[in-house]
Amino acid sequence: MILATRISSPRPQMRKEPRQARSRATVESIVQAGTRVLSDRGWAGFNTNEVADTAGVSIGSLYQYFPDKEALVEAILQRHLDDVLAVLSESEAGGRSLKQLVDDLVTGMIAAHGVHPALHRVLLDVVAPHLGSSPAQAKFEATYLARYRAIVAACPRSRGKAADEIVAQVLCAMIEGVIHSAARSGALKSDELKRELIHAAYSYLTGGEP
Amino acid sequence: MILATRISSPRPQMRKEPRQARSRATVESIVQAGTRVLSDRGWAGFNTNEVADTAGVSIGSLYQYFPDKEALVEAILQRHLDDVLAVLSESEAGGRSLKQLVDDLVTGMIAAHGVHPALHRVLLDVVAPHLGSSPAQAKFEATYLARYRAIVAACPRSRGKAADEIVAQVLCAMIEGVIHSAARSGALKSDELKRELIHAAYSYLTGGEP
Amino acid sequence: MILATRISSPRPQMRKEPRQARSRATVESIVQAGTRVLSDRGWAGFNTNEVADTAGVSIGSLYQYFPDKEALVEAILQRHLDDVLAVLSESEAGGRSLKQLVDDLVTGMIAAHGVHPALHRVLLDVVAPHLGSSPAQAKFEATYLARYRAIVAACPRSRGKAADEIVAQVLCAMIEGVIHSAARSGALKSDELKRELIHAAYSYLTGGEP
Amino acid sequence: MILATRISSPRPQMRKEPRQARSRATVESIVQAGTRVLSDRGWAGFNTNEVADTAGVSIGSLYQYFPDKEALVEAILQRHLDDVLAVLSESEAGGRSLKQLVDDLVTGMIAAHGVHPALHRVLLDVVAPHLGSSPAQAKFEATYLARYRAIVAACPRSRGKAADEIVAQVLCAMIEGVIHSAARSGALKSDELKRELIHAAYSYLTGGEP
DNA sequence: GATGAATGAGTATTCATTCAT
DNA sequence: CATGAATGAATACTCATTCAT
């Protein structure tokens, strides 16, 4: 199992850029099949032969475009992170009040995790720790945190720069924690949960020194 | 891979109860070796031959006491959950004020996760989802949530029963989220983080309706 | 050992149908090698690695076509039963007199057991009892017994339906018993034996009430 | 698996003769447990640890008396053959007419196979072929065939010596075949079967030249 | 003698990856 | 380029047998 060892040396993400329409369609179907298999069967049931079968493509074709299993997983991760960012950015047009910002953020995050909850958990909990942080993840984290920082910055409570950074991380972690937990228990769409989460985040940002 | 399918039928945790001192030592060394391997190499690198080697024991001895790989993992999980509960309970003697309760809880949770951070993440993120909730986990979760419920109950804000349950879950999820995130980034021992987490939890519990 | 427990649920006989000429040759060589190993080394010496080696094929190739050891054994059994039926049917064009029918049957049965005596014994004595009666066996037994029933029906001695059934079974068992015994002692090709067996069968069918 | 290869060199059947009462009891319980396991679980489920467990004896004790698995199996076989001979000899006091002799023989054979039908089949079909013909088997076969020869000799039909030998073997094989088949289908106690078998044997012995 | 803990060679099976067609 | 047959290192698990206590 290659993923057992962290590989830090830069590998080509793709063996060969798909130039023609047919090639692009093949790659597309492979990534989608991989997404489906990973989501349905979990990491333990994810193997390249199964993915090729599901994609209706020969195993040889899969390896034509992805040098190894890891590259495939990375592509799946990349694609998913892009999807999540896209969903997230849709909630960014919101108002200016802190209350509004928090509401929009939580709404966006919940929507983002609704894309593919099972996949998200597998990718983030199981796959990501094995992958040396890829550019995909770096960009994702950056965009992600920027949003949090913007909110913290919009928060009137006086704090130093360093403190702000920590607050952003705590805010991020607590929102993610609650949403992941809700995803696990299937309560992701509960309005009550959303209200509580917004309340928790807002309280944290505005709560006076205890 | 056995873990790929949820097995709900109760299997015997151990094939044979170790009676003599020597065999108890063997089982002990197997569980410890398993813990070490799982923690160091992750789930993908966890295999019974490696564990037996690490324990300095033959593969046959491992299977004399554990009917299969899954049973070994369960024993490791069991043992870890017991450790965490033990650490957690040490922080329970605390005061009566809500502030004190929250402080003790966060202190205990941070300490609990300091036991074996890497192991904890593998067990909870990767292993647990595959295991049909074992008695070990059930007891653990119960004890866990009881603590949270006690705090929510001690909180003056008026809420219905159902609401209390949700608040307990959100509180639990946010604390876990922050601590796991900190464990990942190695910031688990930061005092600043602890302060922020306590602040967040306390604010959530006492924050007025926005 | 999978064969220790009767498995009644229908499994796919083959994991993948061999399409190309090359793969058909591979499957063929695997089945033949399996036949050879089972015949030469007996059930205890029959293992998939040995079969793959003998076939000059990698172990992976074996499992590409047969989901497990049991399926391979079933294929070998199937093939052998087909061979036996084929040999048996060659003796069916015989005359109309009872004497002729019995002669043809015994001739056919001896020829059938000459195909692969050692294999036949292993398959019937050791393997078959473990396999939940497969379609292959069902068809085989049916064809087998039909032949016996036809003979009993052609026998003038008056008997009820139920009695006929028992006579067919006794006739079948006694012929099989003698032939198996002869196979064990290597006397299968003795003309004297054949004469005696025919005599025994004919006497049984025509003997008056004692 | 030792039984996979025929061992022709004479081994000591027992490592150590049990002298004291306790030792004899231990050996007795081991052989009985082995008989039970072989009969219930079949050859595939027969292993020395299981036998020792069933006997309520440590695996070490088993190997104190039996040098290896094969010796144990041989002892079980020996014991069973003795039992069968004992049952068989009870039917030997019969009358003088051929009809009476045949009746007694069939009665005795059916009774003998009723001792432990499942065990008998496993021992004779699976185990015996692996064992180089032991003294136990030799004596058994001799006694067995003697009975058949006596009957053939009592039969008035004129035949040469060599012919008589073949008749005895065919008679033996056909009776065994029918009884084994009946044991398989659970019809061993059917009176109708017994009558047919006697009829078949008698017809064979008295049938005129066809 | 008796015990049962320990051993390890052996066996079934999977799956990432290659390469001839 | 696409195919899918073939590979084999890796891994879970069994069971006959030994030997220290």
Q: What is the pLDDT along chain D (210 residues), one digit of tens a residue?
A: 333 333 334 445 666 566 577 788 999 999 999 999 999 988 888 999 999 999 999 999 999 999 999 999 999 999 999 988 888 888 876 667 888 889 999 999 999 888 888 888 888 888 887 776 777 788 888 888 888 888 888 877 656 666 888 999 999 999 999 998 898 888 899 999 999 999 999 999 987 654
CB-based contact C200 D174, cutoff 8 Å: yes
Q: What is the pLDDT of residues A108-148, one digit of tens each?
A: 999 988 888 888 888 888 888 777 677 778 888 888 888 88
- Whole-number distance in Å between A68 CA and E17 C1': 8
User: Smallest CA–CA separation between A48 and chain B, in Å?
Assistant: 15
The predicted pLDDT at position B140 comes to 85
The pLDDT value given to residue C116: 86
Cα separation, A47 vs A51, in Å, equals 6
**Closest nucleotide to C26's CA, by C1' atom?**
F5
Task: Count the neighbouring beta carbons within 10 Å of the beta carbon of residue B95.
Answer: 10
D-facing residues of C in 136-175 (CB < 8 A) are 163, 166-167, 169-170, 172-175
Which are the contacts of B162, defined by CB distance < 8 A and separation ≥ 6? Answer: none
Q: For residue A22, give Cα distances in angstroms to A56, A58, A142, D67.
A: 14, 14, 34, 70
Contact by Cβ (8 Å): B151, B98: yes
Question: How many Å apart are CA B18 and CA D4, to the nearest integer?
Answer: 34
What does the alpha-carbon distance between residue C108 and residue D146 come to, in Å, rounded to a whole number? 31
Chain C partners within 8 Å of D191 (Cβ): none
Residue A135 makes CB contacts below 8 A (sequence gap 6+) with none
Task: Judge: C207–D210 Cβ closer than 8 Å, yes or no.
Answer: no
- Judge contact between B123 and B43, C-beta under 8 A: no
Task: Tell me what the mean pLDDT of segment B122-127 comes to.
Answer: 84
Tell me which range, A12-26, A89-103, D126-140, D176-190, is most confidently predicted by mean pLDDT: D176-190
User: How many Å from the CA of B27 to C1' of E8?
Assistant: 18
Q: How far is CA A15 from CA A21, A74, A115, A131, D101, in A?
A: 17, 13, 29, 18, 86
CB contact under 8 A, C177 and D181: yes
Q: Are B59 and B33 in contact (CB under 8 A)?
A: no
| Structure token pair of residue B27 | 């089982």
Closest residue by Cα to residue B69 from B83, B57, B86, B52: B52
DSSP state of B208: P
What CA–CA distance (Å, rounded) separates A141 from A149? 12
C173 and D177 in contact by Cβ < 8 A?
Answer: yes
- Beta carbons within 10 angstroms of residue B57's beta carbon: 19
Provide the CA C49 to C1' E12 distance, Å, integer: 9
Nearest protein residue to nucleotide F11 (CA to C1' distance) is B47
Tell me which chain D residues have a C-beta less than 8 angstroms from the C-beta of C3.
Answer: 44
Q: Measured between CA atoms, how close is C65 to chain D, in angstroms? A: 25
Distance from the D41 Cα atom to the nearest Cα atom in chain C, whole angstroms = 8
DSSP state of A126: I
Report the amino acid identity of residue C199: H
Distance of C1' in F15 from CA in D59, Å: 12
Q: Which window residues (186-205, chain B) lie with Cβ within 7 Å of strand E?
A: none
Chains that touch D (3 or more CB pairs under 8 A): C
Of C127, C41, C47, C123, residue with least CA distance to D6: C41
pLDDT of residue A4: 36
- Separation of alpha carbons C159 and C206, rounded Å: 12
* Contact check, Cβ <8 Å, D181/C180: no
Provide the CA B36 to C1' F13 distance, Å, integer. 22
- Distance (Å, whole) CA D31 – CA D14: 12
Kindly indicate the confidence band of residue A6, based on its pLDDT and cuts at 50, 70 and 90. Answer: very low
Protein-covered nucleotides of chain E (CB closer than 7 Å) are: 1-20
pLDDT tier for residue B210 given thresholds of 50, 70 and 90: very low
The integer distance in angstroms from the CA atom of B12 to the C1' atom of E4 is: 20
Nearest-angstrom CA–CA distance, D123 and D83: 13
- Subunits in contact with chain C (3 or more CB pairs closer than 8 Å): D
CB contact under 8 A, C181 and D192: no
Q: What angle do CA D193, D108, C171 make, to 5 degrees?
A: 30
pLDDT value at B200 more than 50 = yes
Coil, helix or strand for D96?
A: coil
Q: Which amino acid is at A16?
A: K
Q: Tell me, what amino acid is at C172?
A: C
Q: With a 7 Å cutoff on the CB, does B169 touch strand E?
A: no
Q: Do A200 and B204 touch (CB under 8 A)?
A: yes
Q: Which two tokens stand for residue C118?
A: 């050692």
Name the amino acid, one letter, at B30.
Answer: I
Would an 8 Å CB–CB cutoff place C126 in contact with chain D?
A: yes
On average, the pLDDT of chain C sits at 85
- What is the structure's pLDDT at D205? 92
Specify the higher pLDDT residue, D60 or C127: D60
Cβ neighbours around C131 below 10 Å, total? 17
Instruction: Report the Cα–Cα distance between both ends of chain C, in Å, rounded.
Output: 50
Per residue, what are the HEC states of chain C?
CHHHCCCCCCCCCCCCCCCCHHHHHHHHHHHHHHHHHHHHHCHHHCCHHHHHHHHCCCHHHHHHHCCCHHHHHHHHHHHHHHHHHHHHHCCCCCCCCHHHHHHHHHHHHHHHHHCCHHHHHHHHHHHCCCCCCCHHHHHHHHHHHHHHHHHHHCCCCCCCHHHHHHHHHHHHHHHHHHHHHHHHHCCCCCHHHHHHHHHHHHHHHHCCCC
User: What does the pLDDT read at residue C158?
Assistant: 56
| 78-137 on C, CB < 7 Å from strand E | none
Q: Return the residue matching tokens 């060394």.
A: B29
H or E stretch including B48?
A: helix B48-55
Chain C residues whose CB is inside 8 A of the D97 CB are: none
